[in-house]
Structure 1
Amino acid sequence: MNIQQGATQAPVTGGALLQALFDAMPGRAAFLDVELRYRYVNREFLLALGATEDCVIGKFVEDVLGAQAASLYKAAIQNLSANAPQRLRRFVDDASGARWIEEELRPFTRGGVMQGVVCVARPLADAEQQCESDRLELLESHRTREAIHAAVFDSALDCIVVIDAQGRVVEFNPAASATFGYSREHAIGRTVAELIVPVEMREHHNSGLERFRAGGPASVIGRRVELEAMCADGSRIPVELAITAVGSGPSALFTAHLRDLRPAREAQTQIERQREALYQNEKLAALGSLLAGVAHELNNPLSIVIGQALMLREAAQSHASFDKHFEEFAERGAKIETAANRCARIVKVFLAMARQREAERGRVEIPDLVERVLELLSYGLRTAGIEVTKDVPADLPPLLADSDQLHQVLLNLVVNAKQALEAQPAPRRISIVARADQAAQTLDLHISDNGPGVPDAIRSRIFDPFFTTKPQGVGTGIGLAVSRGLIESHAGSLTLEPPQPGAGAVFAIRLPIDAVSIENGAVAENTATEAQRIKQRRALIVDDEVEIAGLLGEILRRLGFDCEIATSGDHAKQAIAARPADLILCDIRMPNGDGPAFYDWLSVEHPQLTNRIAFVTGDVLGPGADRFIARSGCPIIEKPFTPEDIRLVTDLLCDDAAA
């Protein structure tokens, strides 16, 4: 029969009979040609679709049942054979309701050539539908689990590497690619040993795999271990490894979770550095408190030694013309004064280093600053056999800067040079050269040594906080970082100069020359030379150290003051109540009424005297003293003092009071 003819043409043989047979078949029945066009369909088919014969006959499956059904039909027809009909299950929702159906497709051939396909469909029983639903639900659940697994695998922060029992990589997640430098395509199929296991550990790795395949114990499975792994560029990184085995024998799979430990170790190092910095700050704070007490105890006797030596020298010089022995006494007094002044300067340097305060700009003479630094370090430099050469012209312009901070920077650089030279053979040299560039209005200071210099590998890091090449306990790694910060706060720069053949490290400081510094200096000098005339006035000295009070009284009497001494704040109140003073010099720390308490009493009882008082102290590090000085705004005379210090303060207070 010719099955290619349309529905309006009579079949070649028994068309009516064939249609009757189709209508009698249970379930849906249809005949499709090889192009998947409907040629015959039974009533059940039309009833199920709720369609007429004109809407189906001659139409393609895709037009009648949809693209998904057409795709299933095409796949089934490709596998048809006379002895192997194809069955497929479809879920339909048509005029007969929503249900599962099973279709059987059998070929219709003539002369060995397939002419079409007979399709018979029947609904599945409830049990069959439930099984099919369960199967699809299970399949969907499996697909969901696979999607979740893929999402977790791809988004994991740790490296995940899956290998088979032969050690070949079967999965390599994005984190592993980012960490080790291999793409997933490059890693799949290669052995994990050649990718990330260091050469010296590969034999141990391979023997462990072989032992596990043979049923032996595993040394690392189920444990967390820290070891080194190798990256694509050959570098080594620390990792934490945890391995889980799935299955056993030749079909086993191993999932390795590897965590890059570099961030954790860098964080731990940073914590240790911060802990060390905190420890150093605590030590500095303790040192500051200790220095406050030491300075107070030293400055009192130093003030007496300096003052008495100065007056001894002046008295001896006045009698030297009458007796040559007085000239010798004057020289001895000058030597005592020089030594005591050196002690006083050293104490002041320590105090300046221990103070943690805001910058105080003033006139700074670089030659004097260099001398004070070298004087402080003279003993250590001399015993280390280090020769220091200076080329610092005396006529360098002054700077408007914080003297203590510049002193700290210069001290750090010279100490670093000294430490770099200690392991070097003689001769050991440090050079300090200063020059003023008038055109650029800058002052340049170079500190160099003939040591080993700074290696190229670390030149870019030496100014990083806490970076140091010194042994444990020798350095903190903050000296250069702090020094650069201090210089930059003065609008300057601190740099490491390029290496020179045969030379060590060369550090260059560049600071701006401010014309205001010169003007301020000139005003200060003029002020210091004016108002030499002091009328006979009354001065009250308040100090529990009798010798200090006596020395102050002697200096003030030479300046024309009538002096009275009070040994405590309470005693001073009685003296002021009896007779007001033109000038008050008061110690800060005293028993039976200290300086701040006395000042507060003056503010209430005699407020006009609060601008005639100056405080003499050997301790300005204590928080109480520091806050009081800032609150009162009164002049401060730091021990040990000189007669010139006292004269300048008296000029200031008496002129202010007269104004």
Structure 2
Amino acid sequence: MPCASGACSPRACVRELSERQRAQAELERQRQTLHRSERLSVLGTLAAGISHELRNPLSVVVSQAKLLEDELSAERPQARLNAILRAAERCAAIVSAFLDQSRYGPRKTEHFALTQVVESALDLSTHVLREHDVSLIIEHAHPDVTVKGDPHQLSQVVLNLVLNAATAMQDSAAPRQLVISTRLNDTQDTVEISVADSGPGIAPELRERIFERFFTTKAVDGGTGLGLAICRDIVAAHGGRISAHASAQGGALFLVQLPAGRHAQRVAASAESDASSVPSYRVLVVDDESEIASLLCEILELAGHEVDIAASGESALRCVAEVDYHFVLSDMRMPGMDGAMFYEMLCEQHPELVTRLAFITGDTLSPNVAGFLKRSGIPHLAKPFHPRQVTELVAQLAEKTRHAPVGRSR
């Protein structure tokens, strides 16, 4: 209460000072949040460019290694080649996972074993567990259980949980233990992945908040507070949920629940059969990167197709004016006429080819490209790719248009 002289009472002054301090603290928190958002935005833009440049050489490494693997039968070269192929695929998965930090809907949909998600995550994190002296226990109650979605994104979720657990246990007394379990629930409609550690655990009042963006229990500069928020968004995009609990060891337990996949083996076998029985088609490959164009040509020719190459959108238009192509596989980012402009010209000059066009691109993150692909509905394959994915793309176009085998030049 103000005194007679108009001066502020000590209690009122303290309250006013406390409110001012809280306001300043909140302002500082918002400023830091904005700064983080701006920094992440800049990093995301840089990452998109870097990832695009990496995807072309990675496509060559992965596909050439796979083609060479098919040609070799000697045991020692085969083992070395398998190691190279696994390393290249891991690099490709890292690039894909890095880009997936900016989009949380499933990037692609396929049936795969739940154990594959765990193994892929451990490929990237086992050395961290060794460094932190953490013993690992893996329990697969139903090894054959499958899910449908994007294996790279879900592997990123498990990887994040494993790395968080290793960090949480670094100050805990030995023995440090991490238990990863997978199982099918009693009604057989939900699969579960649990990651449990022997660390300090998570206070009950924080078990919901830790999934909020920019909320972190780590020390300053110890984390962005985005990891678990991204995990939540990825899992939700796959029709599941993620929750935090107390583990049997007294630490934290994260439970990921996802819809169970159905008829995965039949679907996979059918897709493989369809890809291997594709008849011969006349295909035009459009890419300004000569190594990528030559690689696609080799993959398609090995599958029995006839292939021509165009190094630009302008050159491709001249080709389609002279030859009846069944399908056209084009890059998106090219100097001069890019993929979107090439698509528009096909709509005007050769509308019959629009439904037989597909894009193979390393740039699916930029708003312009992502928006165009969504609006046009044109099938597309992201680099880096496997030879099998290229032949399956042609099979997909063939099924879509039900085209007859090879046509003739005009």
Fold shared, TM-score > 0.5 on shorter chain: yes
Q: Would the alpha carbon gap of residues 292 and 480 (structure 1) be closer, same or farther in structure 2, given more than 3 Å must change? A: closer
Matches of 2:318 and 2:11, distance apart in 1? 90
Matches of 1:563 and 1:598, distance apart in 2? 19
Are the equivalent residues in 1 in contact too, given 2:112–2:264 (CA < 8 A)?
A: no
Give the secondary-structure state (helix, strand or coil) at the position aligned to 2:341.
helix
**Number of the residue aligned with 2:301:** 557
2:365 aligned with 1:639, yes or no?
no
Instruction: For 1:3-42, list aligned pairs within 5 A.
Output: none
Measured after TM superposition, the shift of residue 644 of structure 1 is 0.4
Measured after TM superposition, the shift of residue 648 of structure 1 is 0.5
Measured after TM superposition, the shift of residue 475 of structure 1 is 2.0
Are the equivalent residues in 2 in contact too, given 1:385–1:428 (CA < 8 A)?
A: yes
Matches of 1:444 and 1:313, distance apart in 2? 35
Query: Which residue type is aligned with residue 560 of structure 1?
Result: G
Q: Which of residues 247, 271, 283 in structure 1 aligns to 2:39?
A: 283
Instruction: For 1:215-254, list aligned pairs within 5 A.
Output: 242-243=8-9
Give the secondary-structure state (helix, strand or coil) at the position aligned to 2:137.
strand
Matches of 1:601 and 1:268, distance apart in 2? 57
Measured after TM superposition, the shift of residue 384 of structure 1 is 3.2
Q: Would the alpha carbon gap of residues 285 and 359 (structure 1) be closer, same or farther in structure 2, given more than 3 Å must change? A: same
Are the equivalent residues in 2 in contact too, given 1:353–1:404 (CA < 8 A)?
A: no
**Number of the residue aligned with 2:168:** 420
2:227 aligned with 1:471, yes or no?
no
Give the secondary-structure state (helix, strand or coil) at the position aligned to 2:276.
coil
Mark the runs of 5 or more structure 1 residues left unpaired by the alignment.
1-159, 165-220, 223-241, 244-253, 318-325
Counting aligned pairs with the same residue, the percent is 36
Q: Which of residues 386, 395, 402 in structure 1 aligns to 2:143?
A: 395
**Number of the residue aligned with 1:511:** 258
Residues 533-582 of structure 1: per-residue CA shift (max 9 Å, x gap): 34333211111111111111111111111111111111111111121311
Measured after TM superposition, the shift of residue 315 of structure 1 is 2.2
Instruction: For 1:433-582, list aligned pairs within 5 A.
Output: 433-439=181-187, 441-455=189-203, 462-463=210-211, 466-481=214-229, 483-484=231-232, 487=235, 492-498=240-246, 500=248, 502-513=249-260, 517-519=261-263, 522-523=266-267, 525-530=269-274, 532-582=276-326
**Number of the residue aligned with 2:132:** 384
**Number of the residue aligned with 1:618:** 362
**Number of the residue aligned with 1:218:** none
Give the secondary-structure state (helix, strand or coil) at the position aligned to 1:354.
coil
Measured after TM superposition, the shift of residue 486 of structure 1 is 5.2
Query: Which residue type is aligned with residue 445 of structure 1?
Result: I
Are the equivalent residues in 1 in contact too, given 2:111–2:147 (CA < 8 A)?
A: yes
Matches of 1:607 and 1:613, distance apart in 2? 10
Query: Which residue type is aligned with residue 348 of structure 1?
Result: S
Query: Which residue type is aligned with residue 644 of structure 1?
Result: R
**Number of the residue aligned with 2:179:** 431
Give the secondary-structure state (helix, strand or coil) at the position aligned to 1:540.
strand
Measured after TM superposition, the shift of residue 424 of structure 1 is 3.0
Q: Would the alpha carbon gap of residues 626 and 533 (structure 1) be closer, same or farther in structure 2, given more than 3 Å must change? A: same
**Number of the residue aligned with 1:38:** none
Residues 317-362 of structure 1: per-residue CA shift (max 9 Å, x gap): 2xxxxxxxx5433333333222211211121111222335588765
Matches of 1:602 and 1:446, distance apart in 2? 50
Give the secondary-structure state (helix, strand or coil) at the position aligned to 2:165.
helix
Give the secondary-structure state (helix, strand or coil) at the position aligned to 2:256.
strand
Are the equivalent residues in 2 in contact too, given 1:387–1:429 (CA < 8 A)?
A: yes
Query: Which residue type is aligned with residue 428 of structure 1?
Result: R
2:64 aligned with 1:308, yes or no?
yes
Q: Would the alpha carbon gap of residues 562 and 485 (structure 1) be closer, same or farther in structure 2, given more than 3 Å must change? A: closer
Mark the runs of 5 or more structure 2 residues left unpaired by the alignment.
404-410
Give the secondary-structure state (helix, strand or coil) at the position aligned to 1:444.
strand
Residues 258-293 of structure 1: per-residue CA shift (max 9 Å, x gap): 644555544544443333333333233222222222
Q: Would the alpha carbon gap of residues 359 and 555 (structure 1) be closer, same or farther in structure 2, given more than 3 Å must change? A: closer
**Structure index of larger Rg:** 1
Query: Which residue type is aligned with residue 446 of structure 1?
Result: S
Matches of 2:368 and 2:281, distance apart in 1? 32
Are the equivalent residues in 1 in contact too, given 2:141–2:182 (CA < 8 A)?
A: yes
Residues 21-53 of structure 1: per-residue CA shift (max 9 Å, x gap): xxxxxxxxxxxxxxxxxxxxxxxxxxxxxxxxx
Instruction: Give the strand-richer structure, 1 or 2.
Output: 1
**Number of the residue aligned with 2:406:** none
Q: Which of residues 82, 85, 88 in structure 2 aligns to 1:337?
A: 85
Matches of 1:393 and 1:567, distance apart in 2? 52
**Number of the residue aligned with 1:594:** 338
Instruction: For 1:10-409, list aligned pairs within 5 A.
Output: 160=1, 162=3, 242-243=8-9, 259-260=15-16, 264-317=20-73, 326-355=74-103, 363=111, 365-393=113-141, 395-401=143-149, 403=151, 406-409=154-157
Residues 72-129 of structure 1: per-residue CA shift (max 9 Å, x gap): xxxxxxxxxxxxxxxxxxxxxxxxxxxxxxxxxxxxxxxxxxxxxxxxxxxxxxxxxx
Matches of 1:307 and 1:360, distance apart in 2? 19
Matches of 1:357 and 1:444, distance apart in 2? 20
Matches of 2:93 and 2:271, distance apart in 1? 24
Matches of 1:597 and 1:353, distance apart in 2? 29
Query: Which residue type is aligned with residue 385 of structure 2?
Result: F
Are the equivalent residues in 2 in contact too, given 1:284–1:354 (CA < 8 A)?
A: no
Measured after TM superposition, the shift of residue 431 of structure 1 is 1.3
RMSD, aligned α-carbons: 3.2
The structure 1 segments of at least 4 consecutive aligned residues displaced by more than 6 Å after TM superposition are 358-361
Residues 371-405 of structure 1: per-residue CA shift (max 9 Å, x gap): 22222334433433333322134635333456565
Q: Would the alpha carbon gap of residues 578 and 391 (structure 1) be closer, same or farther in structure 2, given more than 3 Å must change? A: same
Give the secondary-structure state (helix, strand or coil) at the position aligned to 1:447.
strand
Give the secondary-structure state (helix, strand or coil) at the position aligned to 1:528.
helix
Normalised by the size of structure 1, how large is the TM-score? 0.55
Give the secondary-structure state (helix, strand or coil) at the position aligned to 1:535.
coil
Measured after TM superposition, the shift of residue 437 of structure 1 is 1.3
Q: Would the alpha carbon gap of residues 408 and 284 (structure 1) be closer, same or farther in structure 2, given more than 3 Å must change? A: farther
| Aligned pairs, number | 403
Are the equivalent residues in 2 in contact too, given 1:494–1:508 (CA < 8 A)?
A: yes
Give the secondary-structure state (helix, strand or coil) at the position aligned to 2:293.
helix
Matches of 1:626 and 1:284, distance apart in 2? 19
Query: Which residue type is aligned with residue 654 of structure 1?
Result: A
Are the equivalent residues in 1 in contact too, given 2:330–2:339 (CA < 8 A)?
A: yes
Matches of 1:163 and 1:489, distance apart in 2? 64
Q: Would the alpha carbon gap of residues 504 and 275 (structure 1) be closer, same or farther in structure 2, given more than 3 Å must change? A: same
Tell me: higher relative CO, structure 1 or 2? Use CA pairs within 8 A at least 6 residues apart. Answer: 2
**Number of the residue aligned with 1:172:** none
Are the equivalent residues in 2 in contact too, given 1:586–1:616 (CA < 8 A)?
A: yes
Q: Would the alpha carbon gap of residues 467 and 527 (structure 1) be closer, same or farther in structure 2, given more than 3 Å must change? A: closer
Residues 466-511 of structure 1: per-residue CA shift (max 9 Å, x gap): 44331111123344455446545666443332464x5322222333
Give the secondary-structure state (helix, strand or coil) at the position aligned to 1:429.
strand
Query: Which residue type is aligned with residue 253 of structure 2?
Result: V
Measured after TM superposition, the shift of residue 300 of structure 1 is 1.4
Measured after TM superposition, the shift of residue 302 of structure 1 is 1.6
Normalised by the size of structure 2, how large is the TM-score? 0.86
